[in-house]
Amino acid sequence: MKNQIPVHKNEYYEMDIHSMGHEGEGVGRIENFTVFVPHALPGDRVKVKIVKTKNTYAYGKLIEIVNPSEHRVDPVCPSHIKCGGCQLQHLAYSEQLELKKQKVVDNLQRIGKLEDVVVHDTIGMEKPMRYRNKVQFPVGRDENTGKVKVGFYAPRSHDIIETDVCQIQHEINDSIIEKLKLWMEENNVSAYQEKTRKGLVRHIFTRVGFATGEIMVVLVANGAKIPNPQQFIDAMRSVNDKVKSIILNVNTKATNVVLGQENRLLWGTESIIDYIGDVKFHISPMSFYQVNPVQTEVLYNKALECAQLNGDETVFDLYCGIGTISLFLARNAKKVVGVEIVAEAIEDAKQNAALNDIHNVEFHVGAAEEVIPKLYNQGYTADVVVVDPPRKGCDEALLDTIAKMQVDRIVYVSCNPSTLARDLRYLEDRGYKTIDVQPVDMFPHTAHVETVILMTRCGQNDK
């Protein structure tokens, strides 16, 4: 007979929370049965209502905090619980950093079977607020009042939680939202509705150069024209004299993707300028560019430190985006070869190389797992490989080729500890050793953690 689970849907239980899940939810046990509780923290004792059950786990809704964790704090944002943007504002920042380190440790041990690797303390921010340089706000109208709503989606839904002030976005967005609402009300501009696919304004999308102060405003519309465009331009320019680019992005598809493929310049320049360290970048609406410029410099400097370049090396930078890491590496390497599947990003990378007068780089369009084996078969090889893959991690074909090259050092920049651990195990089984593991907090008050890892080929340090 199948074992009965010890909890039942719609019933109430008290439990202790002992750890954090990968989405920032609290994790506890009832009679050794795992229960996930959003908004609960390790150290809390809570009363929960079971809302979903599976064979091996359940989800509970937080009803009451019976005894709070010593690390629980009051969140600065009143929309914290409703909004899906920040999962951990109610946790003291020092403890956020500790839990992110533990998240990396747990994945390396459980998935990677790496028991003897030292994981450094997470590098956090001195001021972990107002750190994002990019934001995309969905736009709608309140069904009861008819007024314009701008904010963020609630977790696991497309219900807009109105957000006049967001504490992790740049302050300029508060004024941009205010001006957008006024323009829409004065011109009776409709907001897009997903169910009917009618309505005009879908999102307001902004980028801010933290080093230069330059601002880009992108209005994402379900059409190629907007009412009274000059008034919209004047409204956005009145926000700040650093507004340099105002763009209409046309997105008429029934999709969850924010940006469409067509950009129409309404006013100013088609891109803005920003710096990471002393490397200069053109940033367009479509550019992939790290959203936390302060911590990006920390992350890239750590990657550069791990690469241990002396000027004689050939470096492969895989998943290179617009060339951000490539250009950091190029000043210390003989040659850098960047690979990225998005053709537009490669064009940006080439432009950024020229912008910085860097000539020892070349860029290839294509999937890394296809391009690198092909280059290897043509006789290309590298001394150092840097990988910065998406959340799914690296393809085995790519990892196999890197191992065959017998590169001296692998620098792995990861946004997902679980796929990182899997890939490190794969490389360790093929002759590499994990030497250095450094978590970096790129997204304070969320459950995400970036990690920079150095691997060396076994035996090379014995020469």
| Angstrom distance (rounded) from CA 387 to CA 391 | 12
| Angstrom distance (rounded) from CA 240 to CA 245 | 12
Set 166, 320, 394, 415: catalytic member: 415
Contact 423, 385 (CB under 8 A): no
CA Rg, the chain, in Å?
Answer: 24
Contact 288, 319 (CB under 8 A): no
How far is residue 431 CA from its own chain's centroid? 31
* Six-digit token string for 336: 């850098």
| Angstrom distance (rounded) from CA 145 to CA 267 | 33
Q: What's the Cα-to-Cα distance from 342 to each of 126, 224, 229, 262, rounded to whole Å?
A: 34, 25, 31, 16
Handedness of CA 419, 422, 427, 433 (dihedral sign): positive
Closest residue by Cα to residue 412 from 442, 441, 437, 386: 386
| Angstrom distance (rounded) from CA 287 to CA 226 | 24
| Angstrom distance (rounded) from CA 4 to CA 58 | 13
* Six-digit token string for 216: 């880009």
Which residues, 6 or more positions from 423, have their beta carbon under 8 angstroms from its beta carbon?
A: 393, 394, 399, 412
Contact 283, 294 (CB under 8 A): no
Is 415 marked active-site?
yes
Supply the residues annotated as catalytic: 415
